[in-house]
Amino acid sequence: MLTISPSTAECERGFSRMNLIKTDKRTYRHYDSLASLVRISCDGPKLKDFNPGNAIRKWFDSAKGTRHTSGHKLTGQRPKKLAAIEISDSDTD
């Protein structure tokens, strides 16, 4: 009978990748998002070999409406609290 000894090396690599992905500045609300990123990091192609064209096309075509690829456009006047503030030379010193 042939057996394979279980190793923790693969688990340790997975946790290392997860710790690189999940930082204090990048939090994830859903487990599925983090699990997908860890899976891509471990099993996916290297970044230099990845061609994002197909993924972008799928994202663009999957929208129910239109994608805002040029950003959102503001209509009308800006609210007063977002108006530009003039800074005099004495304020910058």
* pLDDT string in tens for the chain (93-residue length): 666 666 788 888 888 988 888 887 777 678 888 888 888 888 888 888 888 898 888 988 898 887 777 776 666 665 555 445 555 554 444
The Cα–Cα gap between 27 and 34 comes to 9
Q: Token pair 């004495």 is at which residue?
A: 90
Task: Say whether pTM exceeds 0.85.
Answer: no
**Cβ(27)–Cβ(37) below 8 Å:** no
Q: Count Cα neighbours of 56 within 13 Å in the Cβ-side half-sphere.
A: 5
